[in-house]
Structure 1
Amino acid sequence: MSETPSFAGRAVTVQVPATTANLGPGFDTLGLALAQYDHLEVRVRDEPGVTVEVHGVGEGEVPTDETNLVVRAIAHTFAAYGQRMPGLNLIAQNVIPHGRGLGSSGAAIVSGILAAKGLLEGIVDLDAEALLALATEMEGHPDNVAPALFGGLTIAWMTPEGPKHKKLMVHRGVKPLVFVPEHVMSTALARSLQPESVPHEDAVFNLSRSALLIAALIQSPELLLTATEDKLHQSYRATAMPETNRLISLLREHGFAAVVSGAGPSILVLASDPGQRLVAAELVAKESETPWRALMLAVDFQGATVAPIVSDAAA
């Protein structure tokens, strides 16, 4: 075990984007990074233990001790490389909605792992493969953590050697729109509604749509409506989020490529031009039975970043 003093004075800032997973047919495989960000500041302190300040989303709700998910991710990374975690002060500025299908838990995990990477600079080298493996160990599946780490559109898959990913650049004509409701959805509950097996024809249907979706997102946005059709997961979860299901059906009837964002209950619309987003937002505002916040977001192409904080004395 390394001694804590080797980390004395170290401090980093981390930025992590929101993500949306599945994108309709790409269940547990496809993910997209969105330009909405959580920020984290971590400073090594002389005393052992941790302090956590949370501002914005989750303030007064999420734990502010060692059970905080960001702290657990930092500790997990230090332990994975045989390093003793020093005492830390954390300040989290959260913007990503919690429990809405926009990757908030994945963002917290990635925040912690990137913070640990920054604090371990020069002591342990964490490459992209190691970062994805650590994040997947904690999240359970790579579809959210891959785009959070690397940005853009990601294809993630599991191998005997661990999780892998491929990052793709999204066509500049693709304009994401996310509708966020006031109510939340448990990812565990959403997953529990999935059947153990699906009909062969449904599997073949989703294989064709997933392949088409890659082409639509990187080359042919005009195919997005057809490419986002799904028979593997959204219909099974519909009873748990009836308003989400109703609005998605309405949007699709009007020609919008609308899907459940992650496990829901937020709705993702993959528009092919900015004007289409405005029309979709007007439709939901008119037809929704409960309040929905419309977020017109860009695709994030950079992914999570970590940078050292240079002290005034050092500067």
Structure 2
Amino acid sequence: MAAMERENELGDYLRARRAAVAPADAGLPDDGPRRVPGLRRDEVALLAGVSTDYYIRLEQGRERHPSEQVLRAIAGALRLDDAADAHLFRLGRSVFGTAVAATTVAPELLRLMDAMREVPAFVVGAAQDVLAANAMAKELYDGFARYDNLLRMIFLDPYAREFYADWDRAARIAVGNLRASSSQFPKDERIERVVGELSVHSPAFTGLWARYEVRPRTHEDKHARHPRVGEIRLHFEALAVTSAPGQHLSVYSAEPGGAGADALVLLRRLTERETASADRAAPAEEEELRA
């Protein structure tokens, strides 16, 4: 699927982003119901200052070498933000990075993550695989059948709709973030496998993926429901690991003295209880094996 998409990825991207812009947002008069959502091709061409024929050739893949000036004008017409604008230029100028996404977590990063005992912290890779997680993070996501890939968890685990207070928002943000990763690592086989699996098994993912929103997730406020803690409202930060391309250290925190901080205290107590229980069980299991 990903290989087919790259045959005319610039055209696919232009069509998807054109459909996402309302005429009124582009300063155009509302002329009533339209057969297709968003802007028409001739309207994008008008706003960008290029001929309609030229713009149609771009979308159809018959023109593959637009100038920087044309791309900048189209980005303005489509009201692209910085991340979406950068992706348009990568597609239009055929300039892609050669960096390979890292999949191994450095020991130093593991020590840093494990030292964060009062907040959930975990390391994710470019394909949104959970590469490592501290005890608090494992407790936070304990209700999921598998804590392995954030996209799979959201789209393929029924528990996700109980866990996320606003599942639609969580799903949209996750797909936009994966799009950003695929833009940075366009030939990453793991990303392609994740996209392929979700495209086969989740119509919801397929619909969001087709919207072509490129939005890296750097921070956001999270609202979740934990089966034992209850409502949890936390702030999320994704810190890029510069020594490991594609990896991010994801950390949750809460405003001191607020309900989120109280929820973290409860979560930490659960984590400590589970850890102590596991430590007590380990010698007994070893004794049984020796017997």
Structure number with bigger Rg: 2
> So what's the TM-score if we normalise by structure 2?
0.25
User: Quick check: which one's strand share is greater?
Assistant: 1
User: Quick check: which one's helix share is greater?
Assistant: 2
> So what's the TM-score if we normalise by structure 1?
0.24
- Which fold has the larger relative contact order, with Cα–Cα distance below 8 Å and residues 6 or more apart in sequence? 1
